[in-house]
Chains A and B, each alone.
Chain A
Amino acid sequence: MSEHSPTRTPILEATRVDRDFGTVSVLEEVSLTIDSDAVTALIGPNGSGKTTLLRVLAGLLEPTDGTVEFHGAGSVRQIGYLPQQPAFRPGFTVLETLRFYSSLVGETEADALDRLRLVGLEDATERPVEALSGGMTRLVGIAQATIGDPPVVVLDEPGSGLDPGMRRHVFEVATELAADGTAVILSSHDLELVERTADDVVVIEDGQVLETGEPAMLRDRLSVDSLRDVYEVATAGEAGTVRVQGVSP
């Protein structure tokens, strides 16, 4: 169970969640509490189950076992979601794309423009989505994830493919969302940014939660100086080797 601050409100609670794909167990006995008005970062090696956990938390995958409970207030959209590789229907402009999603929750074009301003894409409104770079597509995806002001926003590697400045901006956006009361759950390999931004960190490997808590708490607990050291001490993964669940020892 995550050690969340007593001043924050738990909004999403995963209890003993398992998720199997056939005979491969990707998540095992994962228990987590996600707080509102906080950025919770999932870190872990490639193939550790971060995306699967995010998809379970977002309600896109049913747990094989265990439960995920949402304790939030009534909202037109409970959970916003940015896929790991966002893509949009070609033939539409950025604004048309955002307008489509906005209209599904009763928002207007002005709201869609606000979302684009939030991620710094106000100058790309008329650009076809197929003409966007990977990073810009991800920013449109982040704007999409915030449509409807969901109380929980799940971002799967929001900084991937972005230049350092934009990556920092994306984490700032996550911080702003949390400051407004949104529970932001994201995965990232940028440990420095996570350390600076995240209120809570969840270290995951082989589908199991190894460590969870505030960055400073984790550093103290493992007697190390940085989140990178926390990561290296906590995880058994060897650099250059991807641990494949169900195969690697």
Chain B
Amino acid sequence: MAGESTSSESAGVDTAERTDGAMAHERPNASRTFRTIVGRELRTVARTRTVFLLGLALTAIVLGITWVGGGYQAGYLPTTVDLLTPLELLVPIVAVAFGYRAILDDERRGELDVLATYPVSPREIVLGVYAGRAIGLAVAIAIPLAVVAAAIALTGDTTVGVYATHEGADSPILFGRFVVLTLLFALVVLAVAIAISSVVSGARGALALSVVALVVLLVGLDLALVYGLAEGLIGDADLLNALAVSPLSAYRGLVLETTVVVAGGTGPQVASPIASLIGLAVWGLGSLAVAVWGVGR
């Protein structure tokens, strides 16, 4: 008889003999439920002081790096190159901070149990939480980069110092691509953090798993690629596609391919944009699928 009881709409109780009684309320449509959950997440993000501190710190660091690198005078492309490596480290940290307790805290308070008695599916919960946090994260990352772009526009010289041979190729559009790709990378890491948040049972476990995930994402996968290349497991011809396995390498490759290489006009291909996008999509969607499973189990 095990497992005879099957999940019904809102709770795992068999609905054997329903009568056609009048409903006092009707279930809101999916988009309203989604907006409700997103709204709660946005308010949570807006009311969390740590988020402001993270945003301020990120802004200060980004502005500082741009200033030290002379980016305000040099232009968009040199600034992109200056910011790329620091953001490879900072963006995952900020994204994990936004998401690693997003679902865990609800679970520990018992609110996931309470939500299970409402007509809300685990998928709606995960997507709502993710979307709300993603909006907050995107704002926290986009604002510093927008400030940098504005500063370059106001103070930049007409000549491009670092990439003198490509003078004239520098463009805010290239910097815009960099911002969009940075946001995409952040959203993928946020999905990983949300997945972690849904499968752990304690704050300490969430923190530990987040650190492990950061190490794997920032170092581990790149090292694995290097090892695979050194051992001949990955051939030279496969390298560009293999880089897409690592979200970090995919992000780096996409930025280089769509900004620096474009500006240069020539040079060896450093990444496969299609494979990189697919890699990021798999990480993002796969993580959200894990999160849905984690909430529903």
Contact B17–A71 (Cβ < 8 Å): yes
B110 to chain A, nearest CB (A): 4
What's the Cα separation between A203 and B199 when bound, in Å? 36
Instruction: Give the chain A neighbours of B9 by CB distance below 8 A.
Output: 78
| Among candidates B11, B14, B26, B118, residue contacting A58 with C-beta atoms closer than 8 Å | B11
A59 to chain B, nearest CB (A): 3
Contact B16–A75 (Cβ < 8 Å): no
Interface membership of A222, Cβ < 8 A: no
Interface membership of B25, Cβ < 8 A: yes
Q: How many residues of B contact A (CB 8 A)?
A: 48
Q: 1/0 per position for A83-100, CB-CB distance to B under 8 A? A: 101111101100010001
Interface membership of A185, Cβ < 8 A: no
Q: How many residues of A contact B (CB 8 A)?
A: 49
Interface membership of B204, Cβ < 8 A: no
With A59-B13, A79-B13, A89-B40 as given contacts, are A67 and B4 in contact (CB-CB < 8 Å)?
yes
Contact A75–B21 (Cβ < 8 Å): yes
With A67-B5, A76-B27, A77-B118 as given contacts, are A59 and B11 in contact (CB-CB < 8 Å)?
yes
Within 8 A of A (CB), among B106-160: 106, 109-111, 113-120
Instruction: Give the chain B neighbours of A64 by CB distance below 8 A.
Output: 2
B31 to chain A, nearest CB (A): 12
Within 8 A of A (CB), among B1-21: 1-5, 7-21
Contact A76–B25 (Cβ < 8 Å): yes
The residue of chain B having its C-beta at the shortest distance from the C-beta of A75 within the complex is B23
The residue of chain A having its C-beta at the shortest distance from the C-beta of B41 within the complex is A89
A204 to chain B, nearest CB (A): 19
With A88-B109, A100-B36 as given contacts, are A62 and B5 in contact (CB-CB < 8 Å)?
yes
Contact B7–A92 (Cβ < 8 Å): no
Instruction: Give the chain A neighbours of B5 by CB distance below 8 A.
Output: 62-63, 66-68
Contact A144–B114 (Cβ < 8 Å): yes
* A-B pairs under 8 A by CB, number: 153
The residue of chain B having its C-beta at the shortest distance from the C-beta of A152 within the complex is B13
Contact B113–A81 (Cβ < 8 Å): yes
Instruction: Give the chain B neighbours of A103 by CB distance below 8 A.
Output: 28, 32, 36
What's the Cα separation between A12 and B1 when bound, in Å? 18
Within 8 A of B (CB), among A42-81: 55, 57-81
Interface membership of A109, Cβ < 8 A: no
Contact B114–A105 (Cβ < 8 Å): no
Instruction: Give the chain B neighbours of A91 by CB distance below 8 A.
Output: 43-44, 47-48
Instruction: Give the chain B neighbours of A6 by CB distance below 8 A.
Output: none
Interface membership of A150, Cβ < 8 A: yes
Interface membership of A107, Cβ < 8 A: yes
What's the Cα separation between A85 and B11 when bound, in Å? 20
A51 to chain B, nearest CB (A): 11
The residue of chain B having its C-beta at the shortest distance from the C-beta of A59 within the complex is B11
Interface membership of A149, Cβ < 8 A: yes
What's the Cα separation between A167 and B190 when bound, in Å? 44
Contact B110–A87 (Cβ < 8 Å): yes
Contact B14–A68 (Cβ < 8 Å): yes
Instruction: Give the chain B neighbours of A68 by CB distance below 8 A.
Output: 5, 12-14
Contact A80–B117 (Cβ < 8 Å): yes
Instruction: Give the chain B neighbours of A165 by CB distance below 8 A.
Output: none
Contact B14–A81 (Cβ < 8 Å): no
Interface membership of B241, Cβ < 8 A: no
Contact A81–B36 (Cβ < 8 Å): no
| Among candidates A61, A66, A96, A107, residue contacting B4 with C-beta atoms closer than 8 Å | A66
What's the Cα separation between A65 and B1 when bound, in Å? 5
What's the Cα separation between A62 and B22 when bound, in Å? 28
With A79-B11, A91-B47 as given contacts, are A73 and B25 in contact (CB-CB < 8 Å)?
no
What's the Cα separation between A81 and B17 when bound, in Å? 22
Contact B110–A83 (Cβ < 8 Å): yes
With A58-B117, A59-B116, A91-B47 as given contacts, are A70 and B1 in contact (CB-CB < 8 Å)?
no
Q: 1/0 per position for B24-46, CB-CB distance to A under 8 A? A: 11111000110010001001100
What's the Cα separation between A70 and B8 when bound, in Å? 9
Contact A107–B109 (Cβ < 8 Å): no
Contact A81–B26 (Cβ < 8 Å): no
What's the Cα separation between A13 and B5 when bound, in Å? 11
The residue of chain A having its C-beta at the shortest distance from the C-beta of B109 within the complex is A87
Instruction: Give the chain B neighbours of A107 by CB distance below 8 A.
Output: 25
Interface membership of A16, Cβ < 8 A: yes
Contact B13–A104 (Cβ < 8 Å): no
Contact A59–B7 (Cβ < 8 Å): yes
What's the Cα separation between A92 and B114 when bound, in Å? 17
| Given A59-B11, A70-B15, A78-B9, 8 more pairs with CB closer than 8 A | A58-B13, A59-B12, A62-B5, A73-B18, A74-B18, A75-B21, A83-B113, A104-B28
The 6 A-B pairs with the shortest beta carbon distances in the complex, nearest first, are A59-B11, A73-B21, A87-B109, A59-B13, A59-B12, A83-B110
* A/B interface sample: 8 pairs, CB < 8 A: A60-B11, A63-B4, A68-B5, A69-B13, A73-B18, A86-B110, A87-B110, A104-B28
